[in-house]
Amino acid sequence: MRPDDPRAWLAQDPDPETRAELRALLDAADAAALADRFGARLAFGTAGLRGELGAGPNRMNRVTVRRAAAGLAARLAAEPGAAARGVVIGYDARHKSARFALDTAAVLRGAGLRALLLPRALPTPVLAFAVRFLGAAAGVMVTASHNPPRDNGYKVYWGDGAQIVPPLDAEIAGEIDALADAGSRVDELPLGDDWEVVGEDVVEAYLDAVTALPLGDARDISVVYTPLHGVGRDTLLAAFARAGFPPPAVVPAQADPDPDFPTVAFPNPEEPGALDLALELADARGADLVIANDPDADRCAVAVPDPVSDGGGWRTLTGDEVGALLAEHVLAHTSGDDRLLVTTIVSSSLPRSLAREHGVRFAESLTGFKWIMKAGRGRLVLGYEEALGYCLGGADGPPVHDKDGIGAALAVAALAAEARRAGRTLTDLLDDQARRHGLHATAPLTLRVPDRALITDALTRLRTSPPTRLGTHTVTAVDDLSAPAGDLPPTDGLRLTLTGDARIVIRPSGTEPKLKCYLEIVIPVDDTPLPTLRRNARTTLTGLAAALKTALDLP
């Protein structure tokens, strides 16, 4: 890979902001800042591109985006009929998102492909739906999802409406690198200005599809909702109205799109404090349920009243808890032994037991919806990952072949309304599952490091000399996921099986310099009160996480 020259980059950059940034660095001879921006290129992978905004190949900017669009166009040239089918382009409300979407449309038109731009900033699941609805060859969503405000990203979907998987990612990346290595300038790429702006009928079709999911008929529920300054509000409110739910109360300070996300440290509903304003409003209104989307509305977080919790009267459910509840809800409102539940290797093992109990199919995938949508055989009625991502399907399978925070919010409201009608709560339903299948308790451990090489070293140490004991648990098996058995593709990671029905999966993040660990224990339910068992489980998981952190020996 030929390194990019800063002055050559400056000459082709169409953005006055990043030109000014780079010119200032060159004038100051700031070697460290230049090395940070030009010492590498953002890697195009199965998650597309994601990174900090700024000048240079190691940043998200208009040069990087035009190169990506040109690489995608070159790969699509090998797809029969792709030029006429075209590419659907969506974008969120982050800094530069609309501009990157327009650059993508211009490059694709210049390459002779049809370009279809969504009518406004919209949730990622609308883009994923639109790819199949419009019969497009591919889709592009400009978003950094729940990343910090300084980031943006570029996610690519194929004609099946799902995120790309290998070898497509490598093929597109090869085209992008070939363009850059040849010294081709993005300001010399042919550009077109005759892209199509898709009408609101696409949004209407999406709303029709998600409100046709298996939701049941209970609707009496009081919901507080926050889009966390993202693009979910209008689409979610329209979906709730179309499905017949009372309108959710939206957190005023977080209602409008704002790329600076001023009320939260990180615009991620999993982060501590992200739901504080929603919980305050829910308390004031006496709401039954809190629902949050992340900024591009492909994830869904849930909190419920729980006087015995440690959360000030509210309990934020884990992604695994919501996934298990949705699994039973969708199974109760569908039929057929071809139904399929899919979770990832890092999610709870409870859905496997639920699938067995209900006599339906189950499959396990690698992390990410690009893999969930490819896993198993059957009619997908629920795919989920513990990171608050859910995909629901009905009689014809899922309308969105990706995680969908709007559809998940509808289903959560429906199951909560159904429980309320029966005089019960979501926590009651979780207790029912624990009594039947044992208390499945999960917890993440995320370790950020200054250098990815430290992650590689830590995984190598675990592979060559795995621990025999972690805390009070004996390690009984270590599975190297780079050479897995069964149907899983190889991936960099390890799965540890421990005594006490415990399990740990360890893998590097695909987008950030972090090592991610996923812990699970399963506790048989006896006469001990479930709140006590849950507290005991948290204590056990905390001890297990501390022992694992020591074993990993990361700074």
Q: Are 390 and 305 in contact (CB under 8 A)?
A: no
CB 386 within 8 A of CB 442: yes
Identify the active-site residue in 97, 145, 349, 353.
Answer: 145
Q: What are the distances in angstroms from CA 139 to CA 95, 117, 125, 162?
A: 20, 10, 11, 9
Is-catalytic flag, 145?
A: yes
Type and span of the H or E element at 541: helix 530-552
d(CA 497, CA 159): 38
| SS3 call for 88 | strand
**What is the C-alpha separation between 334 and 164, in angstroms, rounded?**
29
Cα(33)–Cα(192) distance, rounded to whole angstroms?
A: 34
Residues 6 or more apart in contact with residue 162 via CB below 8 angstroms: 128, 369, 370, 373, 374, 401, 402
CA atoms of 407 and 381, how far apart (whole Å): 12
Helix axes 168-181, 62-76, angle to 10 degrees: 120
Q: Hunting for tokens 């060159």 — which residue is that? A: 26
The answer to whether residues 344 and 376 touch, using CB atoms and an 8 Å cutoff, is no
| Closest by Cα among 320, 284, 119 to 203 | 119
Residue type, 288: D
DSSP 8-state class, residue 316: E
Would you tell me how many other CB atoms lie within 10 Å of the CB of residue 414?
25
Question: For residue 216, what are the CA distances in angstroms to 38, 84, 212, 537?
Answer: 54, 40, 10, 33
Q: Nearest 5°: CA angle at 404, between 411 and 74?
A: 160
Q: Pull the structure tokens for residue 228.
A: 């966390």
* Residue 377 contacts residue 271 (beta carbons within 8 Å): no
Alpha-carbon 325 to chain mean position: 19
Contact of 279 with 273, CB cutoff 8 Å = no
Question: What are the b/e assignments for 70-101, b being 16+ CB within 10 Å?
Answer: bbbbbbbeeeeebbebbbbbbbbbbbbbbbbb
How many other C-beta atoms lie within 10 A of the C-beta of residue 451?
A: 10
b/e burial code for range 167-195 (CB count within 10 A of at least 16 → b): ebbeebbebbbebbeeeeebeebebeeeb
Distance, CA of 374 to CA of 461 (rounded, Å):
32
User: How many whole angstroms separate alpha carbon 98 and alpha carbon 5?
Assistant: 27
Catalytic residues: 145
